[in-house]
Amino acid sequence: QVQVVESGGGVVQPGESLRLSCAASGFTFSKIGMHWVRQTPGKGLEWVAFIRYDGNNKYADSVKGRFTISRDNSKNTLYLQMNSLRAEDTAIYYCVREGGHWLATFDYWGQGTLVTVSS
């Protein structure tokens, strides 16, 4: 069965960095695009970044230049490197599989990992 499991969340101070990981199983990871989506009580759900199976990627404006999405297809693992973190980056971060329909969909979600940015 499809599984995506996030790790790496924690508490950091503003300006610091953090790297999230997502271990994928139950599907051919190297052939599927992956997303990061975050959720806060105040701003709701926010798409963060996408990486295609071949490494092509795109970002939300709010994280462009600070976050980097990457993948290691040999390890079936997705990453999100988060630099220059701000208080407004505090959220639950979900690793999400691209649904494979003709438009972008989010079909399998992990349980999420909490990132807290606070001094």
Partner 1 sequence: DIQLTQSPSSLSASIGDRVTITCRASQNIKNYVNWYQQKPGKAPNLLIYASSDLQAGVPSRFSGSGSGTDFTLTITSLQPEDLATYYCQQSYGASYTFGQGTKLEI
Binding interface with partner 1 (CB under 8 A): 44-47, 50, 58, 60-61, 94, 99, 101-107, 109-112
Least distance to partner 1, CB of residue 3, Å: 12
Least distance to partner 1, CB of residue 16, Å: 26
Least distance to partner 1, CB of residue 26, Å: 15
Q: Report the candidate in 67, 59, 112 with the shortest Cα–Cα distance to residue 85.
A: 67
Q: Which is nearer to partner 1, 19 or 58 (CB)?
A: 58
Q: Which is nearer to partner 1, 11 or 104 (CB)?
A: 104
Least distance to partner 1, CB of residue 104, Å: 4
Q: Which is nearer to partner 1, 27 or 73 (CB)?
A: 27
Q: Report the candidate in 106, 77, 75 with the shortest Cα–Cα distance to residue 7.
A: 77
CB of 78 within 8 A of CB of 48? Answer: no
Q: Which is nearer to partner 1, 15 or 100 (CB)?
A: 100
Long-range contacts of 108-111 (CB under 8 A, 24+ apart): 108/2, 108/3, 108/4, 109/4, 109/37, 110/3, 110/4, 110/5, 110/6, 110/22, 111/5, 111/6
